[in-house]
Structure 1
C-alpha cells in the first residue's frame, strides 16, 4: 500500500501496490500492520456499502460527535465518485479546509479521513458504489452534517447535485457551536 499525505493534516490517499501479470493484478487494499506503521487508525468497527443509482447524487457532508468520532477509509468499488473531506478540528492548522479526489472502480484508490473530519461525495456516473471502513459504530443521535455548499468552506464540486436526501439538504452551514 502506498500512503500519500493530502494537504489536510492526518488525511491520506491510499493506493494499491499492484503485482500484475497476464491474469490481471494482486494487491493489498487493507493491512492493519501497514496502517499502524503509517500512524493511521486501523480499528474497524463497521464496513459499510453505499449504492447511488444516479450520476449527481450527493451524500454528505457527515461526521459524528465525540466520543464517537470515526476515521473512515473510503473506496469506490463500482463507477466513480468525487470524495471530499473537511477538517473540523478547531486546533488543526488545516481547520475548515477541504480536500477532494476522484475515486473510481478502475483506479482502486482509497481516501483515509481521520477522526474530526466531515466526509461526503458526489457520484460521477450512474450506479456508483462505495465501500467504507469506519473505526466507530454508527451512534444514533450523534451524527451531524455540514451543508455541501457552505460558503466558508468553499468546496468546488465537479458537477451540481441532482439527487440529495432531505436530511443532507437541511444541514446548516458549519458553526463551531456544532462541536462539543
Structure 2
C-alpha cells in the first residue's frame, strides 16, 4: 500500500502527516519540514484543513478516516481515548477501567505512548490520576499547550489539569 506524506507548520511545531490514498495513518512531530510526496491525495488536504481549524479554535472534533497501526489492545485503548471530548481530560486509570481492568494503567500508558495519530486521537487528554501531566511522546510542553488551547476554546471553562 502506497504511503503519502505532507508537512505542515503548526503552533506546536512541524507535523509530518502520513496517509494512504484514503486514510490517515500517522502524525509525527518533526524538527523541520522535508519534501512532501509528489502525489497529494485529498485526505491530506482534509487532514491539513481540519488541523488548521483545530489550532484556530474552530474545530472541536475531527471527522477523518483513520487506520492507525497497532496491536488489538492498543486499538482498543485508542478507541477509548477518542471518546474523551475536547476540553476534557481523563486519567490513565479511567481508561484502564473502561478497558476492563483497573490494573491496566501501565499498559494503557504504554499504548497511549504508541499512539501514531496524536492530536486526532487525543492522547494529550489523558493525564495522571493526581491531575498531573505525565508523559507525552511529543513532549510535555506540547501536551500542556494542547490542553491549555482546548481549555481556552472549550464551551465551559475550568481546570483540565
State TM-score, norm by structure 1: 0.26
Larger relative contact order (CA 8 Å, sep ≥ 6):
1
Is the strand fraction higher in 1 or 2? 1
